[in-house]
Amino acid sequence: MTTFDIDNSKKTKYKEVLESLVEQGHALQATHNPHTWRLSALTFALHLHDCYILFSQLKEKWSARLPFSEAWDVDFSQWKTEIWTLVNNVSSFTEESVYKDWQQLCEEDYQTFIGKANACLSGTIPLKELMDFLLEKNTELKKVIIDIGRDLSSLFQETETMLYNVEPELYEQFYEDMVNIYMSENVEPYQIEENGIPTPYERWKASKNPKRLPDLILSKTKTVSSNMLEVKFWQDTWSDCFNFEGREIDKEGFARFIFQNRKSIIDNKQYPCKNCLGRCFYTLCLCEHLWLEYNRIVHPETIVSLPNESHQSILQQLLSYTEKGDWARGVSVENINSFIRTILDANDVKLDGEDAVLSEKLWALLERGSGDRVKIIWQNIVGYLDDHKLLKTKGSPALNRDFFNNDDGYTNIDKGRPSRNSMSNGFREVIPLLDKYCPVIR
C-alpha cells in the first residue's frame, strides 16, 4: 500500500486469476472426450491448488497488516459461492458412477497427486500412472477437484470473516499507513486555503499577527473540519469520529469506515480514490498539525527542544492523556507530566549514561511496531503507574475508559503491570528508567 492514485480501469492480478479459473471450469464442463477431459481436469486441479496457495499467503499477510488496494476488487463473499458452484458443476465426465464411495486424499497423498499431475502435464509420466494412483487411493479426479474447490471456498469464507473481525490495533496501524501515504505524496502536506489559494502553513502563519494567531488557528481548524461535513460520503463518519471540541480523532473509527468501504472508494469512476482519500487525510493531518501549533503558542511551558516534529507530537499526545487521569490523592497532573518529560529526556537537563540509553528504547517503543504505538505504550504506562498506586483504585477497563472513553485495548494496561507476567520484553527493558523517576506519593 504505497499510493492513493489507483488505476481502477484494470483488474488486480487476484481477480484475473479467479476469472481465469472460471473460464477453465466452464470449458471443462463442455468437454466430453474422456482423454481430453482428464488432461484439462488436471490443469484445472493444479490451477485450483495454485489459487489456494496464493490466497493462503494473502490471508496470512493480511492477518498482520490490513490491505487497502491489494485485491480490492475481489468480493470474497461472492467468490466463495462462485468457486463452490463451479467445482460442483464439473460433472460433464465422470470416470465411475458411484461418486459417494470415493475417498478424500490425505495431505501426504494430495501432495503426491500434485507432483504427479505436474509431471504428467510436462510429459514426464503417462496419464495412466496418475489415474492408477488415484484408483489405488479409492478416489477419482473429479473428487479431487471438488475437495480442492471446497478448501478454496472455505478459505474465502475464513478470509472474509477475518477481515471484519480484526483487533483494533490493526485498524489503528491501517490508519497510520494511510497517513504515511498522504504525507509521502504531498511535498506541502499542511496548507491553508485563503481566497481559494492554497498556502503552506508556515507562509500563512508568517502573514498573521502573532497575538491573533491562536484564534485564527482554531478558526481554520473549524472551517476545514466543517467542510468535510458537507461531503455526503464522509458526513456520518466525520460526525462520529472527529471531535473538534475535544481535539481528538477516533483513528480506529476512520480506519474501519475506510477499510470496509475500500472497494467503493477505489471503484468510483466519478470521484477518484486519490481525491477522496487525499481530501480526508489533508483535513485530518492539517487539524492535528494546527492543534499542535495551538498548544505550542498557548502552552509554551509544555514545549521542549526535541529532535523533530514527530517527537513533539508524541509528547503532546502523552501530556494530553495525563489530564484525563483520575489520579490518587497527593498526585497531580504536573507530577505525571514531569515524569513523562523526564523519561523521554525532554527536559532542559538531559539524561546521560544508562538512563539516556533506556530513554531511547522508550522512544523506539513509541515509534515502531504495529498498532497505535503511542496509545499502546501509554496504556502500558498506566498499568505501571496503577501498580504503584498513583491512580485511584479501578479495574483496567475502567482506567481505559478514563483516558479513551472505551474498553478497546484495555488489556495493554495489564501488560504494563510489573505485578503481572504478561509484560512485553521491550517494555520490561525500560522499567528501571520508570522505577528511577516514578513519582512518590507524599
pTM: 0.67
Q: Residue 380 half-sphere exposure, CB side, CA atoms within 13 Å?
A: 25
C-alpha 379, offset from chain centre: 19
* pLDDT value of position 94: 53
* pLDDT for residue 307: 56
C-alpha cell at 346: 525532554
C-alpha cell at 285: 493531518
Classify the phi-psi angles of 346: left when phi > 0, otherwise alpha if psi is within -120 to 50, otherwise beta. alpha
Residue 103: which H helix or E strand, with range? none
Asked if 273 and 265 touch (Cβ cutoff 8 Å), the reply is: yes
How many Cβ atoms sit within 10 Å of the Cβ of residue 16? Answer: 12
- φ/ψ of 188, rounded to 5, equals -120, 85
**Is 120 within 8 Å of 21 (Cβ atoms)?**
no
Q: What is the pLDDT of residue 92?
A: 54
Place of cell 528511577: 436
Rounded Cα distance between 441 and 118, Å, is 73
Q: What is the pLDDT along the chain (442 residues), one digit of tens a residue?
A: 578 999 999 999 999 999 999 999 999 888 888 888 889 999 999 999 999 999 999 999 999 889 999 999 999 999 999 999 998 887 655 555 555 567 788 889 889 989 998 999 888 999 889 888 888 888 888 888 999 999 999 999 999 999 888 888 888 888 888 888 888 888 888 899 888 888 998 889 889 898 999 999 999 999 999 999 999 999 999 999 999 888 888 888 999 999 999 999 999 989 999 999 999 999 999 998 898 788 778 776 555 555 566 788 888 889 889 888 999 988 888 899 999 999 999 887 888 888 888 998 899 889 877 678 899 999 999 999 999 999 998 899 999 999 988 888 889 999 999 988 888 878 988 999 999 999 987 6
- Letter string b/e over residues 32-66, b meaning 16 or more CB atoms within 10 A of that residue's CB: eeeeebbebbbebbbbbbebbebbeebbeebeeeb
Q: How far apart are CA 150 and CA 404, in angstroms?
A: 43
Q: What angle do CA 107, 37, 43 make, to 5 degrees?
A: 45
User: Are 284 and 179 contacting, i.e. CB atoms less than 8 angstroms apart?
Assistant: yes
pLDDT score of 318:
92
C-alpha dihedral over 29, 34, 36, 40, to 10 degrees? Answer: 50
123 φ/ψ sector (left φ>0, alpha ψ -120 to 50, else beta): left
Residues paired with residue 242 on neighbouring β-strands, in sequence order? 249
pLDDT at 48: 95
Between CA 234 and CA 226 the distance in angstroms is 11
